Every structure is written in structure tokens, then in C-alpha cells.
């Protein structure tokens, strides 16, 4: 990849000229000169300063997505030309999906001894960062993202439900948003798709997390479900996470969107589609 584009992507990552200079082993004036050269060549402004904060312009964001795809394709081409070691498929999934939804796909893919993979289970924000750095071939995420910036395919839709202990007053019921007031909430960390979806649902009905008497962040579903089953709070999860447990029960909230999308996402205009098809296509055909 052209040096200027590498420097540009590094600056997009750090949003700091000094840190970028250290990262690409150049002087800060050299980094500035490369960015200016790109702007002059394309006759656009790539970055703005808002106060002391560097931000991408609309044109800069467009170039960023192009450069990320270009870097991915170039890396793949070099691997094919050099006939390097056997390729390991690199995929990422959010915790809601990675904990259960991919089991059948993983089993089928690994039954072929000529194939291997690396699975990273992370929150949505971190997965997109890894995808954009070409550290992953594709990711499987829940909920909303900027679809115009990526290629994607719907995997399935999943119900989003409330979770409580079997002895909780909400168990098996449909409640109003107002009834959530003053309850304890067990919630995933910032950056997780599950949390983003729930916060958006609250906002669309005129509420935020302050409606709860206490909000406890837990990044793993297993301790979260255990605490809920012990009556220490309620939570909101996907149906596949709310597995059968005699100490757990589900509830719904009136007006809350019942289903959300699980989506396969990869960089636009890249050969990553080949890996998406290799991992999903046969299983999808079997289900049709």
C-alpha cells in the first residue's frame, strides 16, 4: 500500500499527529506533509480541527473506507502470490452471538480438517475496530451500525427480552416502561451491542438509565445470569442467551422492539466475501 495511505490510516486511528509520527516512524512535519499531499492530489479536505480535537471530514471518511478495503485486498493478494502457509479464517462475534448462535457453523466448518479458524468474541465497538484494521475477515454483530460503510448480510433476527428471577413480580408478564423505575439493572459494558440497543429503546420512550435505582456493569453473560437468578436485579438479553433455567424467567416491555438483526459484516469491495460464503453458505443452504 502507498506510504501516504498507510500514514493516513494511522492518523485515522490515533487522531493525533504526534502519536501517528511515532507509530509510522516519521517526524511530525513528514506526517503533515503526507496528509497535505493527499489533500492536494484529491482536492479535498480530509480532517478538521474542532477546538483541539481532530475529526474526519465526510471525504476523509470515504477515503478511510477505501484505504481499509485496499489494504485488506492487497494483503490477500500478496498471500496468494507468495503461496504462504495455509490461511486461517479470522472472524469476530459479539458475546450474544459468540456464546451460542455460531455453534453449528463452527462445528461444520471445523469438521473439514483442511480448514481452520480463529474466533474473537468481543463487544461491538472493538470488533469494528479490528475489522477496519484488517485483523478480521468478517464479524457477526447485533443491532444497529452504519450500513452504508460496509458490505453485510442478514444472518437472522432474534427476540430481545427482559430477564428476571423466576420469583420476580415481572416473571412471565408484559409490563410498561414506567414499571422499570427503581429496579436494579444488570447491564453489559459500554460498547456492547446489547447495551446500545437497550439504551436506544429507553431513549425512544423518553427515559435513560437514571430510571433504575442501580446499574451494575458486567461484561460476561454467565455471572450476569447468575446474579439475575439470585434476585439481585433484572437484565435485557437476546432469546438465545436467555436459555432454559428453572431459576430464570422472561418478561416483555410494551412498546419495545421485539426483534433485532444479527448481521454478518465485512469491508466493502473486498475478497472477504469468499470467507463469509465458506463459513456460512452450506449451513444456510441446508436450512432452506
Ordered by start, the domain boundaries in the chain are 3-81, 157-260
**CA–CA dist 73, 271 (Å, integer):** 6
pLDDT of residue 61 exceeding 80? yes
Phi, psi of 39 (to 5 degrees): -65, -40
**CA–CA dist 242, 97 (Å, integer):** 12
Give bridge partners of residue 138 from the DSSP assignment.
91
Say if domain 3-81 classifies as CATH 1.20.1250.20: no
Whether the pTM exceeds 0.85: the reply is no
Phi, psi of 187 (to 5 degrees): -135, 150
The per-residue pLDDT for range 39-58, each reduced to its tens digit, is: 999 999 999 988 889 999 99
Residue corresponding to grid cell 446489547: 194
**Cβ-based neighbours of 167, under 8 Å, separated by 6 or more:** 231
**Region 70-80: what's the mean pLDDT?**
88
As a whole number of Å, the CA-based R_g of the chain is 22
Say if domain 157-260 classifies as CATH 3.40.50.1370: no
Amino acid at each position: 500500500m502507498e506510504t501516504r495511505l498507510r500514514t493516513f490510516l494511522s492518523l485515522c486511528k490515533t487522531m493525533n499527529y504526534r502519536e501517528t509520527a511515532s507509530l509510522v516512524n516519521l517526524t511530525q512535519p513528514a506526517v503533515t506533509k503526507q496528509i497535505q499531499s493527499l489533500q492536494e492530489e484529491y482536492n479535498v479536505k480530509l480532517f478538521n480541527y474542532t477546538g483541539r480535537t481532530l475529526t474526519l471530514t465526510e471525504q476523509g471518511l470515504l477515503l478511510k473506507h477505501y484505504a481499509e478495503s485496499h489494504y485488506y485486498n492487497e494483503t490477500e493478494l500478496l498471500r496468494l502470490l507468495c503461496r504462504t502457509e495455509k490461511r486461517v479464517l479470522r472472524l469476530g462475534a459479539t458475546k450474544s452471538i459468540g456464546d451460542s448462535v455460531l455453534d453449528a457453523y463452527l462445528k461444520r466448518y471445523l469438521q473439514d480438517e483442511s480448514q481452520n479458524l480463529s474466533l474473537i468474541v468481543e463487544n461491538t465497538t472493538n470488533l469494528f475496530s479490528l475489522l477496519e484494521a484488517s485483523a478480521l475477515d468478517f464479524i457477526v454483530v447485533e443491532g444497529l451500525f452504519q450500513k452504508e460503510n460496509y458490505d453485510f448480510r442478514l444472518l437472522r433476527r432474534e427476540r430481545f427480552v427482559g430477564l428476571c428471577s423466576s420469583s420476580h413480580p415481572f416473571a412471565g408478564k408484559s409490563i410498561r416502561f414506567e414499571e422499570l423505575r427503581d429496579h436494579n439493572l444488570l447491564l453489559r459494558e459500554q460498547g456492547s451491542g446489547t447495551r446500545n440497543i437497550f439504551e436506544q429503546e429507553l431513549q425512544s420512550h423518553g427515559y435513560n438509565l437514571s430510571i433504575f435505582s442501580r446499574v451494575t456493569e458486567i461484561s460476561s453473560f454467565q455471572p450476569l445470569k447468575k446474579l439475575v437468578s439470585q434476585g439481585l436485579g433484572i437484565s435485557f438479553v437476546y432469546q438465545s442467551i436467555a436459555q432454559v433455567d428453572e431459576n430464570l424467567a422472561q418478561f416483555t416491555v410494551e412498546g419495545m422492539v421485539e426483534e433485532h438483526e444479527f448481521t454478518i459484516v465485512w469491508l466493502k469491495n473486498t475478497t472477504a466475501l469468499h470467507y463469509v460464503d465458506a463459513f456460512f453458505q452450506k449451513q444456510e443452504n441446508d436450512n432452506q
